Each structure stands twice: as C-alpha cells, then as structure tokens.
Structure 1
Amino acid sequence: MSAVKGINFLPPIVTTNEALQLYQKVAEIKSLIGKLNAELEHSVVNSQLIQMLTLSESVQSTRIEGTQVTFADMIEEATKKNKSDEVTEVENYMNALSEGIELIHGGNPISTRLIQNLHKILMGKNTRGTIANAGEYRKIQNFIGPTNRIEDASYIPIGANEISSYMTNLEYFINSMAHPSFQKNPNSDSVLLDENSDILIKTAIMHAQFESIHPFLDGNGRMGRILIVLNTMQDGLINKPVFFVSDELEKERIRYYNLLNGIRGSSPDWFSWINFFLDACNRMAKSMLDKLDGITSLASLGLQKISKDSSIINHVWLTTFRKPFVTVKEISDHLDVSVSTSRKALNQLVDLDLIDVDKSKKKNKLYVNYDLLRLL
C-alpha cells in the first residue's frame, strides 16, 4: 500500500447529518465538564489532585510513544539524583505542560512562538529522538512508518517549505480568527467546521492537524497532546488544567493512529476522527469525576479519622495527596516544621491505618498513601 501524502488546509467539511451527531455528543460532554468544574472548585484536595493528575497525564502521553515508565516509577524516582532516561522524558513533558499552563494563565495565546518554546523544554536532556533541533521546525522531509525507510512509510507529511503556511492556517483557526486560507464552499448538505465551531470539535481538529503537519523532527505526538490541554483552557472550557485525554487515547493506540491517518491525503475522513476523539473525552470526563469523588471522599474520611481541627497532622495528611511516596525530611521541608514533628505526625497516620511505612528501613523511611495511588 502506498503512503498517504500531505493534508488540506483547515477548516474541514462534514455532512450535515455528521455535524448533528457530533454536536449531540458535545452537549453530553459539556454537561459532564460542568459537573467537573463545580467539583474541582469545592474539593479539599484541589491543588494536590491537579498535581497528581498532571503527573499521570505526563506518564500516559509518553507511554503512547513507547516508554514503559509507570506512575509509581515517577513517584519513587522523584527525589533521586540519577534518574532513568524514561523518567527524565516524562519530567520534560510535565515541565513543558506546566510552562504552557502558566503561559495560558498569563494571557498568552497559542502561537508558533509558544509551541516552539514548549517543544524546546519537551525535547530537553536525556530525551529519545533528535534534540539538536529542539524548538525549531524541521528543515527536511520526514515520514511516519514502521521502519527507517521512506519506502515503507504509512504517511508522508507536507514538505518543510510548507510548514510555515500550514502552521499559520492552524494558528488562526485555534485563535478563532479569520484567514484567507480558510476559503471553502461546502454544498447544501455539508457543514464547514470553521474557526467558530465548538471548542471540543476545534480541539479534535487542532490536534489531528498539528500531528499531520508534523512540524518537528521528533516530539510531535507529545507536543500535540499538550496542545489539547492548553486549547481547552484558552477557550475557557474548563477552569483547571485537567483536560487529560492521553489515558483514553493510550488504551486504543492503534485506533488512535489509524483515525489520525484517516484525515490525511486528498479525501480526509474528519467525522470518524472527531467522533472518536469526542468519545475519548466523554470517557475521560466520567473517569475524572469518579476519581475526584473517590479522592475527595478519601481525604475527608481521613480528616474525620484524625479528628483534630488545627493540628499539623491534618496538613501532613493532605500533603500525601500531593506526594503519595514521602519521607520525614520531605514533609519537614514542605511544611516548614521540625523533623521530629514531621515524624510524629506521619507515624500517627500510620497508627490510624491511613498510610503505610517501610518498616525494613531504619533511616529515610518511606511513607506511602496506597489508597490514593489505587484511586489514581
């Protein structure tokens, strides 16, 4: 089978019936996201939860690219000086995502400059792939396929000389601004999914188009999934940076890649891709609500069990939701309390069966909130 080549400019066109089906799904997802926004505002573990979910997203997004690192690996290696390359790669992803969130919160739009700056962080030290051109669009032809031979490619992206015009087209689309390249004339039975379409549909389109432009030599998949989070924040879909779809995409990796390839070439199937992406968003929102409910209940039950209104032990308990694997010194440093106070509070939590401790060690004992890890 010959490789699919290139892509069309945005915006895409679907049939009227397909558009109706997509918008029906959008309505259901937005109802779930409304509940998620409300729950996040009132959760007792708001900031701690977001930090853990950001880590989980970073793990899942890099796993799509073939890493074997797990969530537990990341927690366990967090304080080590010499970390594995895969753990460092996940940390690079998390740093790029965190920087992007800060920039969006600061009012910066999603732009070529922002994307290139985040890519430079993403492709930092000890990252697989070509890092010499981190933050720079490719200057040569690349391809996607099972081998290193272009003859075996399943997809050959646009030429390097076309990247600028395609990224401009995408940038205007993302930021809901009209552009001369948008000119298309759908027939009476078709709908143009233009720059004013619903944010969920636009995010699906943006991600697929970015992946298909494939502007960098490496890191396009991870960068494209970071953009999903940033785009939903920029348009105000969700109040907190928790729109993490990578877990759902990773579960159906083959379908994910097949449908991405389907929007490429001269006869793109945008409906199948957007429909798949919306289903992933629906499952993600439901899963996030279940996690948040379980984690909030766990935190509240723990506080009830402790039954001390203003004791330091309450703060130590909630800190384990930010860092489920923790030492006495880490608690001491984080809460600015003495080592003895930190140790006493952690041991009290162990006595209450809220956390566990590695009893085989005499020094630098590790305390673990396994109930939280199970929920995550």
Structure 2
Amino acid sequence: MLSNTKDAEEVVNYVGAMNYGLERLETLPLSLRLLREIHERLMRDVRGSERSPGEFRTTQNWIGAQGCTLNTASFVPPPPHEMTQALDNLEKFLHEAGTLPVLIQCGLAHAQFETIHPFLDGNGRVGRLLITLLLCAGGVLERPLLYLSVYLKAHRAEYYDRLTAIRSKGDWEGWLRFFLRGVAEVSLSATNTAKAILQLRERTRHQLDNSAQGPRLLDHLFERPLISIRAAQAFLNCSYGTAASLIEQMEALGILKETTGQKRNKLYRYEPYLAIFEQQGLSTASSASTPTDEQAT
C-alpha cells in the first residue's frame, strides 16, 4: 500500500504525466520538448517541485549516497555544456524509428537518458516514463500496461550495477540482457494480472446481480478504486440514502472496505481489486525511486 500522502501524490502525478504524454504523442513526436512538459507535470507539488520543473539543469549534479559531495559521488553526469549536445543526440536517436527493434531502442534510450541526467530531480521517474512512451509510440503497446518500475525496484542493485557497467566498461550487452529479461517478466506478470482482473469482475458482477446500480458503480470502481458515499451519489446521480445503502451492501459482500475508521467522511477502497496490484508490487510502482539519491549544487 502507499505509505503516505506524499507517495499517493507522486502516483497521481505519475499517472497524470503519463496520460498527458500519450495524448501529446498524437500531435507531437517524442522529443526534448515533450520530456520537459512531462517533467513539469510530474513534479507539481511533490518531492523536488522546487528544483526547476520542466527545465533542463544549468548546473552540475551528481549521484550518490545522501550527503555525498561531487568528489565522493558514485557517478557524475555530463556538465551542462556537454549535456546539451548529449540531449540533441538522444533526441535524434528517439526519432530513428525502424533502425532498431523497438525494445532495443527503449533499453538504449533509457540508459542514455539516466546517464545524461538532464533534470535536477525526477530523472528516474521521467526515465521510466520514457520507456512506456517509446513502447506506445512504437506500436508495441496500445495502452501503458507494462510497469517496468516493479522489476527495477525488485532488482535495484543489479539495475544500478548494469548502468554503471555501461559507463565504466561500455557493457551495453549486459544492460540489454537485464532490460529485456525485465520486459519478459513484467509482460508475463501483466498478463496474469489482466486475467485476475477479468475473473474478479465477472465474480463480483454475479454478487451484484440483484442490484440495479451495483454493476454500474462496480465499473466505476475499476477506474477509481477509492470512493466515498458522496462520490458514489454524484456518479450515480441518485439520493444519498441509495448510495449509502449500495456501499453498505458492497461492504457486507467484501467488495469495499472502509479505510478511515471514522463515523463521518468515510472512504472506501475496492479491496479485492487493489489486492491484485499489491500482490504484484504495483501499488507503489510509479513512485519507486531509482537506486540513487540525486544531489546537485
């Protein structure tokens, strides 16, 4: 489960930035401009929001343990004057559709973006979004259903080691093997998750066969699994009493679970649905940090 409000806000921003990026791809190619726009939305009112959201850095940054200095950093990205040329090269590579298999292009682009580290904060989050955008732009995915963050978090040490091996030894092959293994594992997990969701939907529909509004609210819960009685009332355009009765019924059936413990302003979560994602480690996927802490002057 999300550990606190800040985690939840980062997830909301991540999803919003991803949806924005996918919409913009319909009229704008994947570009540095789009990455800046996505970064600005990603960083609104969350961790790092004071560090030039939507703008490439103009000062040197570095990566390492909390409190490290430039001299003790584990990795120092290129200085701003070299970063600009590296970003231009990355943008050209993003536009070279068809020269490489899409998955190979994704793996190479992600690693190069993380090496350039063009923002003062949020590079890991943008780098993961870049994978999704490339897969959708390349026609591999119709919807953003692959959560590579889960794999990168589960193999955090190896992820960092593989990126370091590129920078120190030029070991792109080792990185690509690691990346492609992650795509395969996450694809299988996504398939199993989708099957579990479909089975849950059919099972829950049978539980609500005698309810006039139940199936409609159920469909809504797959989009918004956290709900209040007032929100249900507004969605169903019904009386407060009808909404309260329906939620009480769904709570009795184990579909909804009250989360606040309060007598008023109660909030309910679609427990069986969220449990599927939590079992797969997906609930914090979008906010999971990369294996480094970003420091900058």
Q: Which amino acid aligns with 2:228?
A: T
For residues 13-71 of structure 1, what are the alpha-carbon distances to aligned partners after superposition, in whole Å with 9 as ceiling and x for unaligned? xxxxxxxxxxxxxxxxxxxxxxxxxxxxxxxxxxxxxxxxxxxxxxxxxxxxxxxxx43
Once the two structures are TM-superposed, the CA of residue 86 in structure 1 deviates from its matched residue by: 4.1
Q: What secondary structure sits across from 1:143 in the alignment?
A: strand
Residue 87 of structure 1: CA displacement? 3.5
Please report how far the alpha carbon of residue 315 of structure 1 lies from its aligned counterpart in structure 2 after TM superposition. Answer: 0.9
Q: How many residues align?
A: 276
> Partner of 2:201 in structure 1?
299
Q: 1:110 aligns with which of 19, 30, 45?
A: 30
Is 1:95 aligned to residue 16 of structure 2? yes
CA contact (8 A) 1:228 1:243 kept: no
CA distance in 1, matches of 2:223, 2:272: 13
- Give the direction of change, closer, same or farther, for the CA distance of 1:86–1:344 in structure 2 (3 Å limit): closer
Q: Distance in 1 between matches of 2:9 and 2:262?
A: 27
**What is the CA–CA distance in structure 1 between the aligned matches of 2:20 and 2:261, rounded to whole Å?**
39
Distance 1:312 1:139, change over 3 A: same
Deviation at 1:126, TM superposition (A): 3.7
**CA displacement at 1:361 relative to structure 2:** 4.2
CA contact (8 A) 1:157 1:212 kept: yes
Counterpart residue number, 1:269: 171
**Residue 342 of structure 1 pairs with residue 257 of structure 2:** no
2:51–2:120 contact (8 Å) kept in structure 1: no
SS in structure 2 at match of 1:144: strand
Q: C-alpha displacement at 1:346, in angstroms?
A: 1.7
Shift of 1:345: 1.9
Question: Retained in 1: the 8 A contact 2:51–2:121?
Answer: no
Instruction: State the shift of 1:102 in Å.
Output: 1.7
Q: TM-score, normalized by length of structure 1?
A: 0.68
Given that 1:232 and 1:243 are in contact with CA atoms closer than 8 Å, whether structure 2 keeps it comes out as no
In structure 2, which of residues 136, 140, 145 is the aligned counterpart of residue 233 of structure 1?
136
- Distance, in Å, in 1 between the alignment partners of 2:7 and 2:259 is 26
Q: Choose which of 217, 223, 228 in structure 2 pairs with 1:322.
A: 223
Partner of 1:214: 117
1:122 aligns with 2:42: yes
Write the letter of the residue equivalent to 2:31: S
The root-mean-square deviation of aligned C-alpha atoms, in Å, is 2.2
Identity rate, percent: 30
Looking at structure 1, the residues matched to 259 and 33 of structure 2 have their Cα atoms a distance apart, in angstroms, of 47
1:131 pairs, out of 47, 50, 58, with 50
Name which one, 1 or 2, has greater alpha-carbon Rg: 1
Q: Conserved in 1, the CA contact under 8 Å of 2:257 and 2:269? A: yes
Farther off after superposition, 202-211 or 161-170? 161-170
Return the alpha-carbon distance in structure 1 between the equivalents of residues 27 and 109 of structure 2: 20
Write the mapping of 1:15-30 to structure 2, written as runs, cut at 5 A: none
Q: Which runs of 4+ in 1 moved over 4 A?
A: 357-361
Q: Check whether the contact 2:258–2:267 (CA below 8 A) recurs between aligned residues.
A: yes
Q: SS of the counterpart of 2:64? A: coil
- Could you tell me how far 1:159 is from its partner in structure 2? 1.9
How much has 1:307 moved relative to structure 2? 2.0
CA-CA distance at 1:207 after TM superposition:
0.3
Distance 2:50 2:256 in 1: 41
Distance 1:221 1:361 in 2: 37
Cα pair 1:263 1:270 within 8 Å, conserved = yes
Query: What is the CA–CA distance in structure 2 between the aligned matches of 1:341 and 1:291, rounded to whole Å?
Result: 32
Q: TM-score, normalised by structure 2?
A: 0.85
Equivalent residues in 2 for 1:67-82 (5 A)?
Answer: 70-71=1-2, 73=3
| Farther off after superposition, 252-261 or 329-338 | 329-338
Aligned to 1:247: 150
Out of 200, 216, 223, which is 2:126 matched to? 223
Unaligned runs of 5+ in 2: 278-297
Which whole-Å CA distance do the structure 2 matches of 1:242 and 1:248 have between them? 14
Structure-2 change in CA distance of 1:276 and 1:346 (3 Å)? same
